[in-house]
Structure 1
Amino acid sequence: MSAETFRALHRDRPADGPLVLPGPWDAASARAFEAAGHPALATPSAGIAASLGYEDGATPAAEMFAAVARIVRAVSVPVTADLEGGYGLPAAELVERVRESGAVGVNLEDSGPDRALKDPQAHADWLAEVRAAAGSGLFVNARVDVYIRGASDPLAEAIARAGLYASAGADCVYPIAAPPTDLPALRAALGDLPVNALAVRGGPSFPELGRLGATRITFGDGLLVRALEDVTSLATSLRETNGL
């Protein structure tokens, strides 16, 4: 699968039909999502971290790339990878390692390991280097962390940062944890630029998020959390009933 195949999935979508990208944390979950008919997948760094026994943000780069590669090998649909802040890699090396993994896209966030927001222009310059190294062969989703990092005016800053990142070559922007009520303003300000929204339990449905302005939907580690609830219930049942 190519980046252009994945990019095309974002185009000409109906307002109530955003692209839904389940987040597999290993090869088995990836195969389950593919078997259910999903046309593409988006790995969550937090979900993979949990599956490997790490805290979110603590997965070594080599293990993250290896996990992504296993997921890519397990399915025939396009896979985009959450690579946090890029692990301090130079843009060209990051792009090369993504290519080696087989992923067609990346999610790159604008806060660092210290959880502080990066300078927006410096981050945009780095994204431009990623785009230059990748050409059109990589779908770049630029995560905007202002809503989770305590920005004083997150909507205004999200719009400003998203504009910079789009100018640097981002294909999509992801104002993670933006309130659904902010999506219409983000959509109006960003024009045709695809916008990624985070789906949460009890929140708006996928069609509702689409009508508010989301082009695509991801879940963070939410699907792993749901799956672990079922595993926990099964584990308890095994202990209490001594059978299946």
Structure 2
Amino acid sequence: MVSGAEAFRALHQGRAPGDPLVLPGPWDAASARVFAEAGFPALATPSHGVAASLGYEDGKTPADEMFAAVARIARAVDVPVSADIEDGYGLAPKELVERLLEAGAVGCNLEDSRGGTLKDPQEHADFLAEVRSVAADRLFVNARVDVFAHGDGDPERAVERAALYTAAGADCVYPILAPADVLPLLRAGTQGPLNMLARLDGTGPSPTELGELGATRITFGPGLQRRAAQALGDIAAGLRRSG
């Protein structure tokens, strides 16, 4: 029987240009069901979106609450769920893996920054290698590269970090906030799947266009949760006017 992690990993393989794996980001069980019922084959929680749903600022969600939220999402759907767990909350690799598996996650995002500061890349690579060793093939590890979010934005530096992380066993790398015009360079310098962030405000390339530039998979950060909150705000305003 194919495990959830194996099924999730297989979704990243053999993607044609222009046909990336699109992973909506549920922030609670109800949104997860909406995305699953729409036919998406897998989901990827956004830590920022989950934080907002729980009443926290980004990066301020207690680990227990984040894992509990992931567990509620994973229980609500029959498709694989990957979890954004920020930088790992300071947990040792063994406990981190155990908690992800207990929550029902098949994968995770792990950031290479803490508090807005980039970590030492070799130390982070060593951490990823420990996570991979403990998890074996039970988790799909997406290594976030924060050079464009918290560093100097040098694509070559991003490629160097990505190479360290894939050598350490990461299944995918995620240069968050990388400009679309550097995506071909990132693609050429990166082995394995490449995750890119798509915007929902019409200011950037579509998921298909990002796929044509070299992205393997597409996520949206907190964009979907923000769009839903905006729609709810519009409904609330309408109720006030009608009342």
Per the alignment, residue 195 of structure 2 pairs with 196
The percent identity for this pair of structures is 64
- Equivalent positions of 1:210-229 (< 5 A) are 210-229=211-230
For residues 68-124 of structure 1, the C-alpha deviation after alignment (integer angstroms, 9 at most, x for no partner) is 000000000000000000000000100000010000000000001x21000000000
Q: CA deviation at 1:195?
A: 0.3
Determine whether 1:9 maps to 2:11. yes
What TM-score comes out, normalization by structure 1 length? 0.97
Range with greater deviation from structure 2 (76-85 or 204-213): 204-213
Per the alignment, residue 119 of structure 1 pairs with 120
Q: 49, 59, 62: which one pairs with 1:60?
A: 62
For residues 129-176 of structure 1, the C-alpha deviation after alignment (integer angstroms, 9 at most, x for no partner) is 00000001110000000001131x520110000000000000000000
- Equivalent positions of 1:77-116 (< 5 A) are 77-112=79-114, 114-116=115-117
The amino acid that maps onto 1:159 is V
Q: CA deviation at 1:241?
A: 1.1
Q: 62, 68, 71: which one pairs with 1:69?
A: 71
- Equivalent positions of 1:171-182 (< 5 A) are 171-182=171-182
Q: Distance in 1 between matches of 2:101 and 2:234?
A: 39
The amino acid that maps onto 1:230 is A
Root mean square deviation, CA, Å? 0.8
Determine whether 1:167 maps to 2:153. no
Q: Distance in 2 between matches of 1:189 and 1:59?
A: 34
Q: 23, 26, 29: which one pairs with 2:25?
A: 23
Report if the CA contact (8 A) 2:118-2:151 is conserved.
Answer: no
Q: Distance in 2 between matches of 1:236 and 1:81?
A: 33
Deviation above 3 Å: which 4+ runs of structure 1?
A: none
Length, aligned pairs only: 239
Q: Distance in 2 between matches of 1:228 and 1:69?
A: 22
Q: Distance in 2 between matches of 1:82 and 1:190?
A: 21
Per the alignment, residue 134 of structure 1 pairs with 135
Determine whether 1:144 maps to 2:145. yes
Report if the CA contact (8 A) 2:112-2:124 is conserved.
Answer: yes
5+ long unaligned stretches in structure 1: none
Determine whether 1:231 maps to 2:212. no
